[in-house]
Amino acid sequence: MGTPDFAVASLDALVRANFDVVAVVTAPDKPAGRGQKLNESAVKKYAVEKGIPVLQPEKLKNPEFIEELRSYQADLQVVVAFRMLPEIVWNMPAKGTINLHGSLLPQYRGAAPINHAIINGEKESGVTTFFLKQEIDTGDIILSDSVPIADDETAGELHDKLMVVGANLLVKTLRAIEANNITEQPQPQNADLKHAPKIFKEDCKIDWNSPAQTIHNLIRGLSPYPTAFTVLNEKNLKVFKAEIEDKEPGIVAGGFLTDGKTYLKFAAKDGFIKLLDIQYEGKKRMLIEDFLRGMRL
């Protein structure tokens, strides 16, 4: 059960490891783009290519879907980047339902663990497999694997790293379940838990009164999607990549300096943020030099 590219890597790893994937459950096709052409999920495209049956329920409690799902008599269900499941679904298989989550649980439970880890300036992230329970992301841990986060790493780069590490961990987890060789560990009840809720547009606006490092982490953590932004000439300016210039700004936070050719830097609370890779509203994504060439500030 999964929808985006992140889930395809895991599905492909299971197929390559010769597990019998009897069916795939993914999101319904959605209209996208100007022509509102129906867009298939990445997982559906892969499954169709491999001849795996595809289920696309609108509602996960729909009796027809439940009946069809039950007809496959799966021993185990694997969830990667999908919706929250009702108990009638996750409790169906004899061996239960496992989830691959993009964090080192119990930290960063929720919809956007990769983004929030970088926004918070973490130096390490990872993936965890666990059995599903009623409360989201709280089930007993089966296995986990950690990866370092580099100082300039973006959410997109960490996503791609965890996608591969997660797929490998999933195969390892299924082999252990198959061999009846797992020791589940209850998640520690930390008082200091960091959460990873869904990110909304208002969370993406840069607050120039923040420290430069905080802003830099926000930009990295939202790149390439949903993308941090600021307002310039009453239009939104998305920022995909930037760097810190560690010197006293001498101008009000949110003010900017430019030579009109090579740099555009905004003042933060304690330094400058130099924009490197941006997208101005109504324009395509470009490097700052290209933007400045066609823009008068």
The answer as to whether 188 is a domain residue is no
- Report angle CA 30, 158, 218 to the nearest 5 degrees: 85
The percentage of residues in the chain with a pLDDT greater than 70, rounded to a whole number, is 100
Instruction: Identify how many contiguous H helices and E strands the chain contains and give both numbers.
Output: 8, 14
The answer as to whether 191 is a domain residue is no
Positive or negative CA dihedral for 192, 198, 204, 207? negative
Q: How far apart are CA 55 and CA 6, in angstroms?
A: 19
How many structural domains is the chain composed of?
2
Residue 243: is it exposed, middle or buried by C-beta count within 10 angstroms (0-12/13-18/19+)? middle
* pLDDT tens, residue by residue, 30-84: 887 777 788 999 999 999 999 999 999 999 999 999 999 999 999 999 999 999 9
Helix or strand holding residue 230 (H, E): strand 228-232
Q: How far apart are CA 57 and CA 66, in angstroms?
A: 9
3-state secondary structure of 285: coil
Same domain, 150 and 243: no
Domain boundary among 143, 178, 213: 178
The half-sphere exposure of 115 on its side-chain side, counting CA atoms within 13 A, is 20
Place of tokens 């290519």: 49
* pLDDT tens, residue by residue, 234-273: 999 999 999 999 999 999 999 999 999 999 999 999 999 9
CATH of the domain at 223: 3.10.25.10
Domain of 40, in residue numbers: 5-178
* pLDDT tens, residue by residue, 6-22: 999 999 999 999 999 99
The answer as to whether 61 is a domain residue is yes
Return the pLDDT at 188.
85
* pLDDT tens, residue by residue, 183-223: 999 998 877 999 999 999 999 999 999 999 999 999 999 99
The answer as to whether 251 is a domain residue is yes
The answer as to whether 194 is a domain residue is no
Same domain, 13 and 118: yes
The H-assigned helical ranges of the chain are 5-16, 42-50, 63-71, 87-90, 113-119, 155-178, 212-221, 288-293
Same domain, 12 and 148: yes
